[in-house]
A and B are shown apart, each in its own frame.
Chain A
């Protein structure tokens, strides 16, 4: 991770004196225009979700609802609620397993380098870029032969495996910043592979885990292709349920909109509360293997 965490404090001393000048005015104008681009769809999402089906007509698309129709949400919950619980279970379990694997892999790759470790790692990383269409049919044949087809564990397995590259990448880079001297010191104390992991590495891994967990949770929660093909009706996650809610006749738009809000809330909350770590996960996925 070459990234510097986005900490405003480190640079706030630089351009001082934010006096109001023309350029600063233009800057704020630019920011406002950009913010409108990002927020208008959300405004429309929310007002539509709160309208009753007959109050949604194209002429009054942008107007506020006359009253708040909470029924949209209870109706949407009735259709996607069970799937949200599926998603929650799926995302929590898959994230926990792949984070643990990633931490161990990252430790092994960064602190116990062996010949060809980098090549091996590059081969592992390739797995996070492949289009899943190119493995889809063998994947579900395999999952079927394991007897996990249509079962949420099959989906968990897929997410864990395809999550290994990114979690390994993030931990490997995270541990690369841990001074080797610390490891050396522990070796001199007689600690071996597991001893060092338990005493030196794991205790300082919390930020790494936070980044990985947020990233992986968001990815698993938002994933669609596996969700649509590896599950049957009892185990479908929320993205699939939402696509159904929105993909059908779609005459009453309040329902898919309310569903979209429900499906978005968990990841959005994670993002707003732990935004900085989220950004670090983002950057980790792209910069410097």
Chain B
């Protein structure tokens, strides 16, 4: 396709407006927000909404405050909440989506109808979903009545209970131990497949981390006083609503994957005498693994960004069901702390980037190879 360079120039000219727009609207604005987060805009009320505000550069102070100041417990709880929300939301969507796809893969009658039923919530707005589920989850009505649950102990969105609490001060410690455990597992796998170097490195790093956790870790203090954060029960209802909306998506992904598996493979497994369960376990599920990964990444970034659904279900200002995206909104527009809001937005962006950037990189590295 080496052709006249005018055509090539046309290709670039056609792309130019989009590239310029995205350069400004994505990268330019991200840079701007990141810069704003390093200033004191809004800390002085006289400057917050002035038409010509005086804004000073204060470095990483806003971030430091978010992670350590006693006034920002809400932000830290929101991070913890988002983490739990993401885990349960992804697990729920994957589980339910896979189950539905497996059922549909068995060719029931009226397959198209079932599929339509499972997938239609995807076409709704989170605001619509939130409105419906808010009504479903009223303590005295909806779901509680249907299942004959006691409203007093099943407050759903209004619950203030929290489980699996841990001290924010222990966060470095917990992280170190979890990473060490993961490394130990990697090392164990390496041991079994006799990869000596990998085993050595994994066990070595794990040992170092555990040593750090035992000796230095307990003395690391982010905050002067212990501060408990956990999984807020009120989130359960929001997780259910989110799964209701998004599990059709994983179903569609899995179904496409299942339909893409050549029948010969299944036949071959059957000929080898594998029963149905073993066929799934050793043939089908491994083939679905890449889809699972894609789905986790897409769902993961949706759940980190979640905003509309929570807004519609519990309003903009309900502590137990707060998430960083909402906190950014409230901090900027109600508390008038625009720079702190920008810092929250930036943290949110970093969280998403941690998931998305490696994904995009891997997608395109493999493509660049044969392009």
A and B touch in the complex (CB under 8 A): yes
**Chain A interface residues (CB < 8 Å from chain B):** 2-4, 6, 8, 10-12, 14-15, 18, 24, 27-28, 30-31, 34-35, 37-42, 44-45, 48, 58-59, 61-62, 101, 104-105, 107-109, 111-114, 117-127, 129-139, 142, 158, 160-162, 164-165, 168, 180, 183-184, 187, 192-194, 218, 221-225, 239, 242-243, 246-247, 253, 256-257, 259-260, 263-264, 267-268, 270-272, 275, 278-279, 282-283, 285-289
Known A125-B360, A161-B22, A289-B363: A114·B8 in contact at CB below 8 Å: yes
Contact with A along B253-274 (1 / 0, CB 8 A): 1011001100100000000000
- Please report whether the interface of chain B is mostly helix, strand, loop or mixed according to DSSP: helix
Shortest beta-carbon distance, B251 to chain A, in Å?
A: 9
B209 interface contact, C-beta 8 A: no
Shortest beta-carbon distance, B368 to chain A, in Å?
A: 5
B69 interface contact, C-beta 8 A: no
Contacting pair A282 B252 (CB below 8 A): yes
Contacting pair A267 B123 (CB below 8 A): yes
**Chain B interface residues (CB < 8 Å from chain A):** 1, 3-4, 6-8, 10-12, 14-15, 17-19, 21-22, 24-30, 32-33, 36, 96, 99-100, 103-104, 106-109, 111-112, 114-128, 130-136, 138, 140-142, 145-146, 244, 248-249, 252-253, 255-256, 259-260, 263, 291, 294-295, 297-298, 301, 304-305, 307-308, 311-312, 315, 324-325, 328-329, 332, 338, 341-342, 344-346, 348-349, 352, 356-357, 360-361, 363-364, 367-368, 371
Contacting pair B125 A239 (CB below 8 A): yes
Shortest beta-carbon distance, B81 to chain A, in Å?
A: 15
Known A34-B118, A168-B18, A239-B125: A286·B29 in contact at CB below 8 Å: no
Shortest beta-carbon distance, B236 to chain A, in Å?
A: 15
Known A133-B345, A136-B345: A253·B135 in contact at CB below 8 Å: yes
Bound Cα distance A59, B332 (Å): 41
B345 interface neighbour in A124, A131, A165, Cβ under 8 Å: A131
Shortest beta-carbon distance, B207 to chain A, in Å?
A: 37
Known: A30-B99, A122-B363, A130-B352. 5 other contacts (CB 8 A): A27-B103, A107-B14, A135-B29, A192-B6, A225-B308
Known A114-B12, A264-B128, A275-B119: A124·B259 in contact at CB below 8 Å: no
Bound Cα distance A59, B140 (Å): 8
A61 interface neighbour in B141, B291, B352, Cβ under 8 Å: B141
Contacting pair A34 B349 (CB below 8 A): no
Q: B132 contacts which chain A residues (CB < 8 A)?
A: 41-42, 44-45, 257, 260
Contacting pair B325 A131 (CB below 8 A): yes
Contacting pair B364 A135 (CB below 8 A): no
Q: B126 contacts which chain A residues (CB < 8 A)?
A: 222, 224
Bound Cα distance A160, B21 (Å): 10
Known A122-B364, A247-B312: A192·B10 in contact at CB below 8 Å: yes
Bound Cα distance A203, B28 (Å): 36
Q: A289 contacts which chain B residues (CB < 8 A)?
A: 360, 363-364, 367
